[in-house]
Structure 1
Amino acid sequence: MLLIALTASIVVLVPAKAYAACCGWRVTERYYSDATLTTQVGTCFDDECAGTYTCTGTQTAYETATQTCCDRCLQ
């Protein structure tokens, strides 16, 4: 019984993943003409911190996305 309580306490003390403290994201989506991802034809930028979403060019099914944290939460 003591082992179960100790194990539960240790699990609670394990730090969360790094992205758990992020409250807002900046996401950049890049769109390409085909599956080779060599010719970029469009871009969308979603800035949750500024509340903006803008796109230029053409959106296709061939996309890559990157995200960065733009706002940290207080813990």
Structure 2
Amino acid sequence: MPVRYDITAPEGEQGGQLLGAHFRDGRATLHDPPPGVLLWFRRHGFTVDQVDDGPPPDTAPPASNAPPKPAGRSRSRSKTKEG
């Protein structure tokens, strides 16, 4: 299912095309944009709102289901009696 995002331009920006988004009156809608596009808009003062249900736009990579590795053991020094 496609995920849709509403992009709102910062004040002063009204129309035009930018990164595949067609702005009109400071607003545009994108369908399934690459995550880098959403990050670019946020970094440059645009407001990005997810409209449809789906994964959040900038999630971390999925965590592995493998159990964590145990901590390594330190080497013990062999102690010998000197006499």
Q: What is the TM-score of this pair, normalised by structure 1?
A: 0.25
Higher relative contact order (CA 8 A, sep 6+): 1
Largest Rg, 1 or 2: 2
**Larger helix proportion of the pair:** 1
TM-score for the superposition, normalised by structure 2: 0.24
More strand by share: 1
